[in-house]
Structure 1
Amino acid sequence: MTKLTRVAGLAADLALGLPARAVPYEVRRDVAVRMPDGVTLLADHYRPAGPEQALPVVLIRVPYGRGGLYGQMFAAPLARRGFQVFTQATRGTFGSGGQFRPFTTEHDDGLATVAWLHEQPWCDGRVAMTGASYFGHTQWAVAPYVDPPLTCVSPHITSSRVTSTLFYDHGAPQIHTGLSWSASIGRQERGGLLGGLPDPRVRAKVSRGLRRLPLQAADVSVAGAPVPFWRDFVAHGEPADTFWSQADHNGADLTRMPPVSMVTGWWDLFLAGQLTDYTALRAAGVPARIVVGPWLHGEPGELRMIARTDVKWLDHHLRGGPAPSGAPVRVFLQQAGRWLNFDQWPPATTQEQVQHLRAGGTLSPSPEGGEVAPARFTYDPADPTPTVGGPLLQPPGKQADNAEVERRPDVLVFTGPPLSAPLDLVGPVKARIHVRTELPYADVFVRLCDVDAKGVSRNVVDGIRRLDPRTVPADDVTAGDDGVLTVDVALFPTAYRVRAGHRLRVQVSGGAFPRYARNMGTGEPFGTATTGRTNAFEVFHDEAHPSQIVLPVLGSAHQA
């Protein structure tokens, strides 16, 4: 280990909030692992210095590079603590053979890699996996299927249903995430002054590319060449398309999962799917823990928490160290500045509070007591309803001033009275909107906001449901005899304190661009559509159609 390596290690430990450690280790570069189809994948093998011995292996499968920043942030900190780490570049990336078709080959390649590790004399038969985001997905692609089972896993900021819940959120394509990620992976091996860091010039290209029609070739404008993932994304977004089924693992036998540790953030775009996974894992009897902090995807605080929890988790399961202490669910209560601990998710101590949309743009626990005219607006795909803040792949995200959006005529706003006491919302948020649209192809977007004493409206959580006659009726969309649809919209979960004197506000609109693809109103595939139609909305909130939002209010036992 060179002096430069030691200095870099100290800097990485400091950035990750880890106590400095300097266990000597060796790295064997470009270890070749042959896949069953003949393709060779390359890996870096970190092992403690000294005579070779059979030890557990921590497997990290990553598409962003084995060395450099990713090696220093994810593999080397574990190696400095005496773990044996095997960091493999996924197919088609950084020296590994084949083509990188994200989410489509990780199951077979991952299983083959684990089998290869079991055959190595330096592996004692125990294999753990860790990693965040895409290399969290590589764990879901392996862990429920491998035999013998993995010792433990840490799939952070990811989801078992990464494509259906992330890229097509309740039917609405998340084009901002899709194109931003395509720009990143399409350019990542070309080097450049900024390396793997966010490039404001690329962000500007993404912004321009999202506004061009058709969308199918937007990858060329941001990456300079076609990106296979973007082409798959725009070509396989129709309701009956099964292309992505190979990438979703929520249907796997969860009883085969090893112990699981997870970290995510309230503003992380994987949040909803990850909390669903956690609940399902616990229901299947899997020992599981989760930490949810006030973070956007990949924020430094999130990465520091991942590093700290990984070291403890791996030490316990691979070396017999002390088990992690405290409750299995630890969440940060935003706007209160403190952590809450629960035995389960959602917490058993919450109660549902219903707030009804009412005439005059008001919000009340009581529904309307008779007939009132519906609220109306027109959605125009040529001037799509914008959105600010929220869970995005890259900053800016999180909370933002919604004033400009709420002034638009295509956004309905319903506001409650000032709160007499703080209101702690902890759990999933949902809405039921009764709507009739001129065209059958439409989006229903609902956002909950916190309006402070100065009148500034900031987003808390939101959700969308794409309406399509090919998927309606469904469990979350039913049609009445009067042509009014009852649409259940799942908003993001949260842990958030609305302070005394603040007001709750609900927005209802027909889209949230450019986070989601504009709904053209024609039913054409979103990647090839070029012409849209305006769509008139009626949102009902009378006695027969009590549109509402349902809030998870934390019981007094946890309030302070």
Structure 2
Amino acid sequence: METLRIGPAPLHPGAEQFMVPMRDGTRLATDVYLPPAPGRHPVVVSRMPYDKASAWMAVDRIAPRYLERGYVFVAQDVRGKFRSEGETMPFVHEVEDTYDTLDWVVGQPWSDGAVAMTGDSYHGYTQWAGVAGGHPALRAVAPRVTGTGISDMLLAGRVSCLYQAAYFAHMWVDRDVHYYETDWSVRPLREVFEPAFSAIGARSAAVDAMLAGWPPVNPFASRHPLTARPVPVLHRVGWFDNLIDLSMRDHSAQLAVPAWRDLAYLDADACDHHTYHLAQAPVAPADDHALDVTLLDRILPRYLGRTLDFFDVFVRGLRPVTSLSRATWFQGHDGERTAGEWPPRDAVELLLHPSGNTLASTPETGARVVRWTHDPADPVPSIVKDPWVFLHEYPDESSLHDRPDVVVFTGEPAGRPLDLTGPVNALVAVETDAPSMHLFVKLHDVAPDGSAHMISRGQALITGSAGVRVELGHTGYRLRPGHRLRLVLSCSDYPLFAPHPGTAEDPWSATATRPSVQTLRPAGTFLSLTVTP
């Protein structure tokens, strides 16, 4: 097997690297960018596993935005990655390592003692680790496209997420990152990464821990961030991000804790994990910031969002708290909006019921049950190849909707704009003749030409015959006149998720499969939307 190893890039000019000692003696590589004005300044810290000097992280383009606002910017490779020392294992040490890093920062001659944290995905998780650690210097965080539950994403909805497993198998083998093609047809699935590990000459401790029963250590099990000292949080989310459900669970959880409620802010955009935007989808090569790093300068204002303004309020005290909206979001196909809370105060619940092959606001009495067969040997294919860049691809998924193992219910064309603004949930009354089943639920926008594009999604492992509630995340999306909503149900989405074998075996260990029959009762099934006038 051919593998490509990528090590650390050269350090950026203008940055000075320090090897910062942790409490156990392990040293973490830390780059410091200083503003031109001498003296002491507030500091913004970003701790990442993706190489702080790489073009992908673009720290050399991001840091100047903070420097010109009077902040020191500090970027660090987390333990076991790139230039940092220590074992290569995600999550386990982040609470202590973040605390020790902040402790080092406030002791430097360029620090005024106030610290904020920023970053995406895993380096959004390290911000929550900083909150959990409770360092007194931490004034505010702005976690983007992430969640405190990111360590559990391997079982998204209790369904094995293969692309997250691949992330650990490529990123968390050793200090470097390894690129290779994965043959998902290998059975049992637990052996799918073995050829790559043999070629690399090393194994991923994270993958081994996953196969033994993930996670080996959950730092937040005994000290969840929301039990620590309250800190202002700017939740930065993307409506088309594959981690949107994790992000919004954190936002909702913060609103439910009295001591934290007034410190919760939302900054949402109609983008995916890597900042590709709905207005550009699918992304043309001329607009692809992955192909031309100079295009990053064009998207940086959108990427940074309101982070700098947020820090100016809570870290530097330059403006009053009242200058910030509690919720700012981009309503897909419409524009930017603000409100004093999320969902907006005027939002209401709209229930749509399956009836025949349609969605309606009132249920049809005596609706027939719907049955379909899931065959693990012929699973419903994943239309999106890389969910981290969903809007880069933004495929028409209508080609799947005629399959006999895909169930669809479609509403009438909208006569006027319908604004979805808040959570989307489905209650599905379904049962199987297998020991259990996977259920994938998607909400699509069907255009007048018949093309169908996903708005939101969710998945669940179902046992028994009771109705199951599937969270499809939150959205800010305008259904335009002439377009229709479509509820799409299936039992597989492969190879993004492991196919259910139809037996009682673990999908990672199964070698034999059995087709299973699913029965849906429309009378007990409905789609719950949050809409605004």
1:327 aligned to which of 325, 328, 332: 325
Question: Could you tell me which of 500, 503, 510 is aligned with 2:491?
Answer: 510
The one-letter amino acid of 2:231's match is P
Figure out how many residues of one structure are paired with residues of the other and give that number: 492
What's the RMSD between the two structures over aligned residues? 2.8
> Given that residues 276 and 391 in structure 2 are in contact (C-alpha distance below 8 angstroms), is that contact kept between their aligned partners in structure 1?
no
2:194 paired with 1:216: no
**Distance (Å, rounded) in 2 between the aligned partners of 1:311 and 1:516:** 37
2:98, 2:133 within 8 Å by CA — same for their partners in 1? no
Q: Which residue of 2 aligns with 1:64?
A: 50
Distance 1:79 1:442 in 2: 52
Residue by residue, what CA displacement relative to the aligned partner does 1:249-268 show, whole Å, maximum 9, x if unpaired?
Answer: 89433562321223221111
Q: Give the whole-Å Cα distance in 1 for the aligned partners of 2:123 and 2:407.
A: 40
| 1:90 has 2:78 as partner | yes
Q: Name 2:206's counterpart in structure 1.
A: 229
Cα gap change, 1:323/1:62 in structure 2, threshold over 3 Å: closer, same or farther?
farther
Match of 1:18 in 2: none
* Distance of 2:253 and 2:145 partners within structure 1: 16
For 1:342 and 1:279, the matched residues in 2 are separated by 16
Aligned equivalents of 2:382, 2:392: Cα separation in 1: 10
Find the partner of 1:104 among 59, 69, 92.
92
Change (3 A) 1:75 1:523: farther
Q: How many angstroms does 1:457 deviate by? A: 2.3
Distance in 1, matches of 2:33 and 2:191, equals: 41
State the alpha-carbon separation in 2 of the partners of residues 356 and 493 from structure 1: 19
Does structure 1 conserve the Cα–Cα contact (< 8 Å) formed by 2:102 and 2:137? Answer: no
SS at match of 1:292: strand
Q: Distance in 1 between matches of 2:103 and 2:31?
A: 17
Task: Summarize the alignment of residues 288-437 of structure 1 with structure 2, pairs less than 5 Å apart.
Answer: 288-299=264-275, 304-323=301-320, 325-336=323-334, 338-359=335-356, 361-370=357-366, 372-389=367-384, 392-395=387-390, 399-437=394-432
TM norm structure 2: 0.84
* CA positional deviation for 1:157: 1.3
TM-score normalised over the length of structure 1:
0.80
SS of equivalent residue, structure 1 residue 322: coil
Q: Does the Cα contact within 8 Å between 1:269 and 1:391 map onto a contact in 2?
A: no
Matching residue's letter, 1:213: R
Letter in 2 for 1:266: W
- Preserved contact between residue 170 and residue 177 of structure 2 (Cα < 8 Å): no
User: CA 1:548–1:113 in 2, change beyond 3 Å: closer, same or farther?
Assistant: same
**Cα pair 2:52 2:75 within 8 Å, conserved:** yes
The AA in structure 2 aligned to 1:103 is F
* One-letter amino acid of the counterpart of residue 30, structure 2: A
**Pair 1:498 & 2:479 matched:** yes
Instruction: Please give the alpha-carbon distance, in whole angstroms, between the structure 1 residues aligned to 2:41 and 2:358.
Output: 63
Q: Distance in 2 between matches of 1:187 and 1:305?
A: 33
The answer to whether 1:485 aligns with 2:466 is yes
Which residue of the partner structure matches residue 245 of structure 1? 218
Q: 1:502 to 1:300 in 2, by over 3 A?
A: closer
Question: For 1:37 and 1:307, how far apart are their aligned partners in 2?
Answer: 34
Q: 1:415, CA displacement in angstroms? A: 1.8
* Corresponding position: 1:79 with 2:57: no
Q: Which aligned pairs between 1:67-216 and structure 2 lie closer than 5 A?
A: 67-69=53-55, 70=57, 71-164=59-152, 166-180=153-167, 182-184=169-171, 186=173, 189=176, 202=180, 205-206=181-182, 209-216=183-190
Match of 2:503, SS? Answer: coil
Task: State the SS of the aligned residue for 1:314.
Answer: helix
Contact 1:294 1:334 in 2 (8 A): yes
The residue number in structure 2 matching 1:21 is none
AA of the residue aligned to 2:428: I
Distance 1:159 1:248 in 2: 14
Instruction: Name the counterpart of 1:43.
Output: 30
* 8 Å Cα contact 2:379-2:493 kept in structure 1: yes
Q: Which residue of 1 aligns with 2:454?
A: 459
Q: Classify the secondary structure of the residue corresponding to 2:399.
A: helix
Distance 1:375 1:458 in 2: 24
Q: Does the 8 Å CA contact 2:156/2:459 hold for their aligned counterparts?
A: yes
Of 551, 554, 558, which residue of structure 1 is paired with 2:529?
Answer: 551
State the shift of 1:408 in Å: 1.0
Identity rate, percent: 29
One-letter code aligned to 2:52: R
Q: Are the equivalent residues in 2 in contact too, given 1:158–1:270 (CA < 8 A)?
A: yes
Structure 2 unaligned segments of length 5 or more: list them: 1-11, 278-298
C-alpha contact (below 8 Å) 1:356/1:367 kept by paired residues: yes
2:284 matched to which residue of 1?
none
